[in-house]
Structure 1
Amino acid sequence: MSIQILADSGCDLPYSFLQEHDITLIPLIVRLNDQDYEDLITIQPKQVYDAMRSGQIVKTSQVSPLKLKEVFTHYAKEKRPCIYIAFSSQLSGTYQTAMMIRAEVLEEYPDFQLTIIDSKCASLGLGLVVAKAAQLAQKGMPYEQLCETVSEYCRHMEHIFTVDDLEFLARGGRISKTSAFVGGLLNIKPLLHVEDGKLIPLEKIRGRKKVFKRMLELMEERGVDLQKQTIGISHGDDEEAALELKKQIEEKFGCTDFLVYPIGGAIGAHAGPGTVALFFLNKQMEA
């Protein structure tokens, strides 16, 4: 029986992509107007960004424990081996909850083969790992080897991103409102990356043109065999900016394989409209 890949909506792969590649979606929760929605299923990214632009407060929470138990139990009954590649434990409590629910399900189905991997990744950084895992599972890679390969991909996935409006980070308590106000006046675009699953500020740069230039410099410094990779670009309802970055990468590095998708509601609620994120590997992978 083939291995089933599970992923939460923190991977920012569209629902259509997940269905096409037989990846089971476990949605994070988006709360808007006192109502809870399942990310990518009952609420779409565009709705979240439009609400944020209109000044509404969007909140998020981890995957429902009931949903996790429902999904795990379903595959336990089928006796189907599963690998759940989870959103970074440094950014969500979903991984810890999933480990707890796994223990509960194993009490009833002790032979159930389920590995939960803390990806330490986010958005399409996670998405690229999930897509590769599904591809390798379909090719018949053995279970233990697939777990090891997925973990290796996670360890070497680079995340570099910028936000367009500091106000959204201020709303979420990531920076002070004064910093957001001054940054907005000066057209400051913070550049951040992910280190051991955590969001870490790198630099403050004035203007998007200079930010993209710096992103390409970091890509050149950190990336390996870029033209042989699938490059991920996600965006906060700003496809034009994402495609501009894609064009620059094509011209500079000769890359031809890209995944370019909107950032889902769960992550977008914190990053805000206009966010642009770039993902690539810093090590050559055999698989």
Structure 2
Amino acid sequence: MTFQIMTDSTADLSQTYLEQHDITILGMTVTIGNKTYETIGNEALDNATLLAAIKKGETVQTSQINSGQFSEVFKTFAKKNEELLYLAFSSGLSGTYQSAVIARDMVLEEFPEAKIIVLDTLAAASGEGFIVEEVVRLRDAGKSLTETLEILSVLTKRLQSRFMVDDLNHLARGGRIPKAVAVVGTMASIKPLLDVDTEGKLRQVSKVRGKKKAINQLIDKTLEDMDMAYPKVIVSYSGTDEIAQQIKSEIIEKSKITDVDVRPLSPTIVTHTGEGTIALFSIGKIDRS
């Protein structure tokens, strides 16, 4: 193994996948009322519990991973002289990346020979997971950390993340989008479509009347912009997977792509999107603009 890989719970990767590929993970926490839940491990918060609390109107909030947590893990790799690549949740959406940078610098003062790379994926949810999976593929193919970083310098810019949510007020309350955008989203049958920009922040890209038209636009735009050197789409959802499975079938029917993976959003993400979120992730032909 040429280097070690680390990420966090916002990447929407299953515990099975993480264990199979020897990926270290740290979890953000979600607080519902006065109780704080972990998002990794056997006692991790599940989406059913979270969504039930949101429907009841309970206060829910997330907490980022702090520098102390990062420092503890980074030191374990530094002591073993193992190269580490940490793939971080977008700095445009959380302070987790900055906490990791602070921790890395502290650890390097004690272990100056250590190689700890903290990479801002500028991505969220399965977009972050998409990048992690590509890194696993590169590492398993024998690529060095330096070679992998060169490839990532292209891929992270070309990652396409498109999504819609049923209730934009969740994102507005968390400061992820302007309140004015959420107001539009409450209008009858108007579905704002969003993506992740070059700074890793959420932005509205269009408004579509009707959920079906919005979904069709998500699919068509994803297929139109895809780089077929990476013929893979991840469809993420919150709540039930019925619509996500329909989208998978439509993508396969409309294209030659057969690698279409459907997976649930993590509780950390669902806290800020609520139920009914649909997101599509792929690698585009050109950099995101």
Query: What TM-score do you get using the length of structure 2 for normalisation?
Result: 0.90
> For residues 183 and 150 of structure 1, do their structure 2 counterparts lie closer, same or farther at Cα, with a shift above 3 Å needed?
closer
Query: CA separation in 2, counterparts of 1:238 and 1:269?
Result: 16
Answer whether contact 1:168 1:270 (CA < 8 A) is retained: yes
Query: How far is 1:264 from its partner?
Result: 0.6
Aligned residue number for residue 115 of structure 2: 113
Residue aligned with 1:19, SS: helix
Answer whether contact 2:2 2:145 (CA < 8 A) is retained: no
Instruction: Give ranges in structure 2 of 5+ residues lacking alignment.
Output: none
**1:63 equivalent among 59, 62, 65:** 65
**1:216 equivalent among 216, 219, 240:** 219
Q: Deviations over 1:207-246 (max 9, x none)?
A: 22111111122113321217x5221111112311111111
Q: Deviations over 1:91-133 (max 9, x none)?
A: 0111111011001111111111111111111111110110110
Query: CA separation in 1, counterparts of 2:121 and 2:25?
Result: 16
Aligned residue number for residue 196 of structure 2: 194
Mean Cα deviation higher: 215-224 or 68-77: 215-224
Query: CA separation in 1, counterparts of 2:82 and 2:54?
Result: 40
Residue aligned with 1:245, SS: helix
> For residues 259 and 52 of structure 1, do their structure 2 counterparts lie closer, same or farther at Cα, with a shift above 3 Å needed?
same
Query: How far is 1:179 from its partner?
Result: 5.3
> For residues 220 and 134 of structure 1, do their structure 2 counterparts lie closer, same or farther at Cα, with a shift above 3 Å needed?
closer
1:99-248 → structure 2 map (5 Å cutoff):
99-173=101-175, 174-176=177-179, 180=183, 183-184=185-186, 186-196=188-198, 197-225=200-228, 228-248=230-250
Residue aligned with 1:237, SS: coil
Query: How far is 1:9 from its partner?
Result: 1.4
Answer whether contact 1:119 1:151 (CA < 8 A) is retained: no
Aligned residue number for residue 267 of structure 1: 269
Residue aligned with 1:66, SS: helix
> For residues 178 and 214 of structure 1, do their structure 2 counterparts lie closer, same or farther at Cα, with a shift above 3 Å needed?
closer
Residue aligned with 2:234, SS: strand
Number of equivalenced pairs: 282
Answer whether contact 2:181 2:204 (CA < 8 A) is retained: no
Query: What TM-score do you get using the length of structure 1 for normalisation?
Result: 0.91
Answer whether contact 1:161 1:191 (CA < 8 A) is retained: yes
| Corresponding position: 1:89 with 2:87 | no
